[in-house]
Structure 1
Amino acid sequence: MNEVRVQAGDFDLGREIARLREGDARVGAVVSFVGTVRDLNDGAAVAELELEHYPGMTEKALEDIAAQARARWPLYGTLVIHRIGPMKPLDQIVLVACTAAHRGDAFAACEFIMDYLKTEAPFWKKEQTPEGARWVDARVSDDAARARWARP
């Protein structure tokens, strides 16, 4: 299974992982990452995080990123779910999961997808803080994480 979803509603981690590996006896490793809303960012309390996206373009970018991972590692499945809209601290934002025969491939691919997602997928984040709303800027550390995957 290879799937990308952008949705407002929450997801059930256990159910999604079960779907990803369902009926595939080749799977020896399942690696997943779940990103959640923090209550503090850059020294300010965060009451709400709102994610906006560019419909159609966002899904295409996520599909391309997952396809790049499948081209680099021998994966059996990839799943990317990214939420949009308003979310509160502790809410789940994103799920990236990969299945493979071996853990090394699944770990690397999951990390690769997440690193590229943070820099290449068209999402915009706005935080509600005690000082008012603010847009979240891209981080240099995200660019550095992505750069380590560059091929010579």
Structure 2
Amino acid sequence: MNSQRKIDSIMAKTSSKEEKLQGICDFLESEVSYYDWVGFYFKNGNKNELKLAQFTGEETEHTIIPFGKGICGQVALSNENFVVQDVSQQDNYISCGWKVKSEIVIPIFVDGENIGQIDIDSHTANTFTKEDEQLLEYVCKKVAAIL
């Protein structure tokens, strides 16, 4: 898979962790037409909240997300992938803008602990596939190795 090779290439660069994460965000947003916002959230120290790290796309006011709130906050507790094909059907959804129609969030595990996640918003409803999940799980495994 070409995308996986590109992710490997970004991760192999001798740049900082932050540059690697930003490179992944930039690549995914430019490579996949329906990835309109790509970002990483990580557990904020020992607090039960997520903190926004690197991202590509429109600015967001959601730089801190309490565990349990929104899709990202739910993944922080469930430790499972969460694919939302239509955000309007979700009760516990934090709106990042009227354009967002669907969202996918994949957790990142280090030594069995959920330490963060990759979050992708799309302006297209019903767009995410199993292939998206597999690619993003691959990204999360690669990211876990540098944390």
One fold, TM greater than 0.5? no
Query: More strand by proportion, 1 or 2?
Result: 1
- TM-score category of the 2 structures, normalised to the smaller one: 0.3 to 0.5
Rg: which structure is higher? 1
TM-score (norm 2): 0.33
TM-score (norm 1): 0.32
Does 1 or 2 have the higher relative contact order (CA < 8 Å, sep 6+)?
Answer: 1
